[in-house]
Structure formats: structure tokens, C-alpha cells
Amino acid sequence: MPPQAEPRPDDGAPAIETRGLTKRFGARAAIDGVDLLVPRGCAFGFLGPNGAGKTTMIRTLLGLTRASSGSMRMLGVPVPEQRVTALRRVGAIVEEPRFHLHLSGRENLRVVAAARGPEVRSRIEPALARVGLTARGDDRVAKYSMGMRQRLGVARCLLADPLLLILDEPTNGLDPGGILEFRQMIRAMVEQEGRTVFVSSHLLDEVEKTCDAAAIVDRGRVVTQGPVAELAGGGAPGELILGVDDPDRALRMLDGSELIATVRRSDEGLRAVLAAGSEPAAAAARLNAALVGAGIGVMRLEPVRHSLEQRFLEITTRLESAEEGVPA
Amino acid sequence: MSATVAAQMIGADFLKLRRRRGTLAWALLLAAAPLVIFFAVRAGQYSSAPATHAPPGGTDSYIDALRILAVFFGPLAAILIGADAGAGDSSAGVFRDLVVTGRSRLALFATRVPAAIALSWLVAALGYALVVLGTFAFSAGGGPTPSGAMVLDGLGFTLLSSAVTCAVAVGFSSLTTSKPAALTVLIGWQLVASPILTNISSLGSARELVLREAIDHFSPVGLGDRGGRSGSAVTLGTGTAVIVMACWVLVFGALGAWRTRTMDA
């Protein structure tokens, strides 16, 4: 295969593309026929419970371990065939960031810069500045907190001037302040610097707050992927919560409406699942008019917001039930 | 890989090694302390009974001091440094971060060797400076002192011993990816197994395969015949000694490179 040109920011190729990617350890498939498409210029969450295969996927992409079958491309470049070309513009933290503890932060970056090439050394100071470690750059890493090590790990990634950053559980071990800081850093890299950030996490909240799109992975398989908002909605029927002054009458009335599939009482009031094909905003307006017209006071009428957490639990529960042969 | 990148990577490996204070301190201690003790004891003996003890300097002391450095303690210092160089990245967990740079694993292995040899040479050179200093500073009695050529030969022998031992240690340590395991095996081999093997006469010419014997062949002062190793009847030709040393370096280098290239990072 002829060598491919270095990836460019605007070449339009997906950041990551895998087809049928499989990694087996003996009989067990840690990742199993994964088709993944990570678009450029977004924060992409790779979400799954512990042991789902997230780190194995990252290690396979980066060539730290060999795939059993399937194909991969990073920044449009096939790997592992041309991993040197692909990795030139990729930065990664796999599992927790590790360093030579006896060296300073700056010296650790020098070690990696030496391996990346002569032009990279000039990026050490900007990278330290970008993560706010300039003043502590000469301290031995052994004296760094977990948060500082995470930031130094990002600085190490930035030495590649990466088009793609791959961060494996980046908020593990960080305090709430550190998590917030890290989240802001990821968003800035995407929105201000145009980089693609691939974040693996088992924290649903983290992915929902940080990422534009996500894939949900379970037992080595990607079970769904897409924009976070779509995943959270997940094609579930629209739902409304209604607060009224006469719940019994409202319940009878809604039960007979063609706009409503089911309605029930809940702690929050009445919870109505819209009939298939009902557009939530229009249905809400018509229901409000009908209730008010019938003399029922409406204090609350709002759509139910599905969270990625609900969606994730729905999917993983469904998978577990399917494997156990129990109807979900 | 361009020469610039290679030089940078060797510099980075050298940085990792020289900043490892514990290893460097032990290496310096091994290279210097026995020599200081040796000359101090000789000086004490001579000053207390000059009639029965030779001066602490001069050619005889030079030969003994060279043996202490080049045959015993210098190689141990080289093993410490080589083991650190071979397993340092894996032990610290940063090997995968170096692999992720896209640099070839063979290059990552290959640059460890010159960096480790450079540091072990610095340590050995410091020890050798002590040998020469003691030899000439304590030769006030007017006895014979080593010639300039012998001093240069001794330096060459010391550096050869350090380099070969260090290169083998880098390869073996890269193979095991464990510094403690590499140190245990290599020091055990150097201090225990090698002397035993070379003194088992029934092994015959197989003893020529012992690395220490091959290195000793290049001693400028016949070290192998001194210091109580009279049981050793191993005599190698120069060609055999070169081949044996090359085989040790190449075999362990190849094993270390293979492991570095194929292991999961």
C-alpha cells in the first residue's frame, strides 16, 4: 500500500471509522464486530459499563494490541498499515496517564517530543501553558496531584498538535473542580481549536455534559450511536407531564383522546404518552386548549426530557434480558 | 529515522537514566567506593609497615585496581544502568505513550543501548580516573608506574567491559521488562555463575562461551591470571573472544528488540 499523506484538518475523512473490528482474547471477544463512525470536530463519547471493551477498543485503534479482524481508519488513514502517518496527528491518554515520576513534567514532555520529531520540541512550552502547568513544569511528576497528571497527559497529547485526541476515562480520580475544569478544556478544544475529542467513559452524566455525539457499547458491541440528544430521545414516543386542578376528570378526558396512547398518575401529576405520530408541541397545545375548554385548570404542561442515563439503562437492560431469554 | 531524531531520542533516554538518582548513586558507589577502600587500605598498610608492604601506588596497585574496576564492580554498575534502560519505560508504564507517538518500537529499543552505554562509560571513566589518580599519587616510593600506553589500554579495557556488559543488560532487561528480575539474573550470573562455570575444568572449551572470559581476554595486564582465579584454564584467541562478545550482545539485543516489538503495550 502506498504511503498516505499526513492527515489534514479539512480533508473531510471521519476521525475514526471501524468496520467489523474484533479483538479476541482466546475464546472471549473483548470487542466484537464493531462498526464505529466518529465525525470530525466534535466531542464523541464512547460510553459503556466497566468491562464493556472501551479500553481494548482504544488500545486496538492505537496499535498497542493487534486486532483479530476487521478494519480501522483514523483521520482517513488505514491502521495499522499506516499507523505512523495516522498517529502523527493523534494524541492519546490510555487508562490513567503514566509518567517517569523521577523526571519533571517538562522533562517528560521532552522525552515524548524526542520520539515525535525535531519540530515538536517547540510545542512543549505552549502545551504546558495550555494546561496551566508552566509554573510547575520543573517539579518532579512524583509531586503532582492526580489532576495535574491528567493535565500533563493532555499536554503530552498536544505535542502532536492533534486533530484527534483519544482520552480514556479522563475524569477518573478527579475531584469535582477537576472534572469541571477538564470538561471545559475538552469543550474548548472542540469549539475553539477544532479538534476531535474521543472520550471513553462509564459516566453517563459526563458524556451527556461533554459530548456532542456518543456510542453506547456493551459487551464488546456498539449497540447504538449518534448525536447525544437523539440517543437520549432514542426514538421513544413523546411524553407529557400535566399538572391540573382536577386530576380525575382530566384523566378520563385524556384517556379518550386520540392524541394520547396511555395516561397514568405519577408523583409529578399525570403522565401521558403521546400516540404514535403526534408531534409533542402541537399535541401539548391542543390538549391544553381542550382541558381549559372543559374548565380544568392547567398549572403545568411540559415534555418529559429523557436522559442518556435512562436510554443507556434501557438498552443495557434489554440486552441483559435478551441474553437471559427474559422479555424486557 | 533521521540522525537528528535518533540523537534526540538517545538524549531523551540518557536524560531518563541520569536523572534516576538511586540507580546513578549506586552505580557511582560501585565504581568508586571499592577503589577508595583499596587505596586507603594499601596506604594504611604501607604507612604502618613500609618494609613489608609495597607502596599503595605504582604498577602493581594499578593492575589490582583495574581488576577491581573493570572485572568486578564496573560491570555491576553497567548492569544497574543497563537494566534500568531496558525496563525503565515498561516499569513506569510510559512505553505505550511512546508507542502512541508512532515511532517504531525497534527505534524505541535501539536508542536505549547507546544512552545506557554512554552513562555507564561516564561512571566507568570516573572510576578509572580514580584508578589512575591512586596509581600515580601513591607511587612516591619510586617504584615502577604504568606506561602511557598501558594507561590507555586500561581505559579501553574498562570501557569495553562496561559497554559489552551494559548492552547485554539492556537486551536482557528489555526481554524480561522487569528491572528486579533482570538485576537478579544478571548479577547472579556475573558474580556467582560465571566464576563457577569457568572453574569447572570438565566443561572444557565450553567455558569460552562465558562472557566474562571473553572480555578478560582484552585485559592489558593479564588480569585473569591474578587474584586467585588460578583454577581458570580458559584461554581464548582474540577472534574467539570477539565472536563470543558479539554473540552475547547480538543475541540479547535481538531478544530485547523482539520483545519490545511484539509485546502488548
Do the Cβ atoms of B13 and B87 come closer than 8 Å? no
- Answer whether residue A4 is part of any domain: no
Run means of pLDDT, 10 residues per run, chain B, 265 residues? 90 96 96 96 90 86 93 95 95 92 93 97 97 89 84 96 97 95 94 89 87 90 50 73 96 96 85
- Answer whether residue B243 is part of any domain: yes
Distance from CA of A87 to the nearest CA of B (A): 5
Mean pLDDT of A264-275: 85
* Interface contact flag, B21 A65, Cβ < 8 Å: no
In chain A, residues with a C-beta closer than 8 Å to the C-beta of B103 are 84, 115-116
Average pLDDT, chain A: 86
Distances from the Cα of A260 to the Cα of A184, A247, A255, A299, B71, angstroms: 41, 16, 7, 19, 92
Cell of A130: 495550555
Q: Which range of residues forms the domain containing residue A70?
A: 16-231
Residues A153, A42 share a domain: yes
* Interface contact flag, B102 A101, Cβ < 8 Å: no
Distance from CA of B251 to the nearest CA of A (A): 25
- Answer whether residue A211 is part of any domain: yes
List the single residue in A65, A83, A160 with the smallest CB-CB distance to B264: A65
Residue B232 CA to residue B219 CA, distance in Å, equals 15
Mean pLDDT of A307-311: 71
In chain B, residues with a C-beta closer than 8 Å to the C-beta of A110 are 12, 15
- Answer whether residue B2 is part of any domain: no
How much is the pLDDT for A318?
A: 63
Instruction: Write down the ipTM of this complex.
Output: 0.86
Q: Does B3 touch chain A (CB under 8 A)?
A: no
Do the Cβ atoms of B250 and B98 come closer than 8 Å? no
Residues A132, A223 share a domain: yes
How much is the pLDDT for A6?
A: 66
Distance from CA of A7 to the nearest CA of B (A): 14
Q: Identify the domain boundary among A231, A249, A266.
A: A231
Residue A186 CA to residue A47 CA, distance in Å, equals 16
- Answer whether residue A9 is part of any domain: no
Residues 30..89 of B with a Cβ closer than 8 Å to A: which? 88
Do the Cβ atoms of A253 and A83 come closer than 8 Å? no
Q: Identify the domain boundary among A205, A231, A257.
A: A231
How much is the pLDDT for B229?
A: 41
Q: Does B16 touch chain A (CB under 8 A)?
A: yes
Give per-residue pLDDT as tens, A164-206.
999 998 888 788 888 888 899 999 999 998 999 999 988 888 8
- Answer whether residue A154 is part of any domain: yes
How much is the pLDDT for A234?
A: 54
Distance from CA of B247 to the nearest CA of A (A): 29
How much is the pLDDT for A92?
A: 93
Q: Does A326 touch chain B (CB under 8 A)?
A: no
Q: Does A118 touch chain B (CB under 8 A)?
A: yes
Q: Does A64 touch chain B (CB under 8 A)?
A: yes
Residue A229 CA to residue A207 CA, distance in Å, equals 11
Residues A189, A40 share a domain: yes
Q: Identify the domain boundary among A199, A231, A263.
A: A231
A196 burial (CB, 10 Å; 0-12 / 13-18 / 19+) is buried
Distance from CA of B5 to the nearest CA of A (A): 6
Q: What is the CATH number of the domain that holds A138?
A: 3.40.50.300
* Interface contact flag, B11 A90, Cβ < 8 Å: no
Residues A76, A215 share a domain: yes
Residues A67, A213 share a domain: yes
- Answer whether residue A310 is part of any domain: no
- Answer whether residue A124 is part of any domain: yes
- Answer whether residue A8 is part of any domain: no
- Answer whether residue B1 is part of any domain: no
- Answer whether residue A270 is part of any domain: yes
Mean pLDDT of A289-314: 82
Closest CA to B30 of B82, B69, B86, B87: B69
Q: Which range of residues forms the domain containing residue B127?
A: 7-262
- Answer whether residue B110 is part of any domain: yes
Residues A172, A154 share a domain: yes
Closest CA to A144 of A187, A108, A182, A197: A108
Kindly tell me if the per-residue pLDDT of A3 is higher than 60.
no
Kindly tell me if the per-residue pLDDT of A9 is higher than 90.
no
Q: Which residues contact A93 (CB under 8 A, 6 or more apart)?
A: A150, A153, A154, A156, A157, A166, A167, A168, A170
Q: Which residues contact A25 (CB under 8 A, 6 or more apart)?
A: none
Average pLDDT, chain B: 90
Residue A48 CA to residue B84 CA, distance in Å, equals 38
Per DSSP bridges, beta strands A260-266 and A269-274 are antiparallel
Question: For chain A, what is the domain count?
Answer: 2
Phi, psi of B153 (to 5 degrees): -60, -40
* Dihedral over Cα of B200, B202, B207, B208: its sign: positive
In chain B, residues with a C-beta closer than 8 Å to the C-beta of A101 are 92
DSSP state of A119: G
Distance from CA of B114 to the nearest CA of A (A): 15
Residues A102, A163 share a domain: yes
- For an interface test with B, which of A60, A95, A100, A109 has the most B Cβ atoms less than 10 Å from its Cβ? A100
Question: For chain B, what is the domain count?
Answer: 1
- For an interface test with B, which of A24, A59, A102 has the most B Cβ atoms less than 10 Å from its Cβ? A102
Residues A254, A212 share a domain: no
Size (chain A), residues? 328
Q: What is the CATH number of the domain that holds A260?
A: 3.30.70
Residues A162, A138 share a domain: yes
Residues A271, A124 share a domain: no
In chain A, residues with a C-beta closer than 8 Å to the C-beta of B9 are 114-115
Distance from CA of A203 to the nearest CA of B (A): 24
Q: How far is CA A17 from the centre of its chain?
A: 15
In chain B, residues with a C-beta closer than 8 Å to the C-beta of A108 are 94
Residues A198, A50 share a domain: yes
Which chain A residue is nearest to residue B99, measuring alpha carbons? A64
Residue B162 CA to residue B212 CA, distance in Å, equals 11
Mean pLDDT of A3-15: 69
At position B80, the amino acid (one-letter code) is L
Q: How many CB atoms lie within 10 A of CB B225?
A: 11
Residue B217 CA to residue B242 CA, distance in Å, equals 9
Residues A219, A84 share a domain: yes
Give per-residue pLDDT as tens, A116-152.
988 999 999 999 999 999 999 999 999 999 889 989 9
List the single residue in A92, A99, A114 with the smallest CB-CB distance to B94: A99
Size of interface A-B (CB pairs under 8 A): 88
Q: Does B20 touch chain A (CB under 8 A)?
A: yes
List the single residue in A64, A97, A111 with the smallest CB-CB distance to B15: A111
Q: Does A24 touch chain B (CB under 8 A)?
A: no
* Interface contact flag, A103 B104, Cβ < 8 Å: no
How much is the pLDDT for B261?
A: 92
